[in-house]
Amino acid sequence: MTRSTTQWLIAILSLATVTGAHAHEGHAVATTPGDSLLHWLTHPDHILPLVAGVALVVVLGGLLVRHFRR
């Protein structure tokens, strides 16, 4: 993966994470005491920022590993 491609990937993932998190700001998901963490994580409002955030961490972690292996 070239440096330019990596920078674009990081930018897109960052934008998706921030946009999803910003769209969710101030919106509480109604939960009941019996709701599990899985129920909260799979709520439609949480999926985009969660997936984009995880992908961003994986990409940045991979870049760090690759950098220090050199």
Q: pLDDT tens digits for 16-67?
A: 777 765 555 555 555 566 667 677 677 776 777 778 788 888 888 888 888 8
**Quick one: pLDDT at residue 59?**
85
CA 67, CA 39: separation in Å to the nearest integer?
Answer: 37
Q: Nearest 5°: CA angle at 66, between 9 and 7?
A: 20
pLDDT band for 8, please (50, 70, 90 cuts): confident
**Quick one: pLDDT at residue 27?**
55
Q: Is 29 part of any domain?
A: no
N-to-C CA span, the chain:
16
**Quick one: pLDDT at residue 32?**
62
Q: Is 1 part of any domain?
A: yes
Number of domains composing the chain: 1
- For 59, the domain range is 1-24+34-69
Q: Is 6 part of any domain?
A: yes
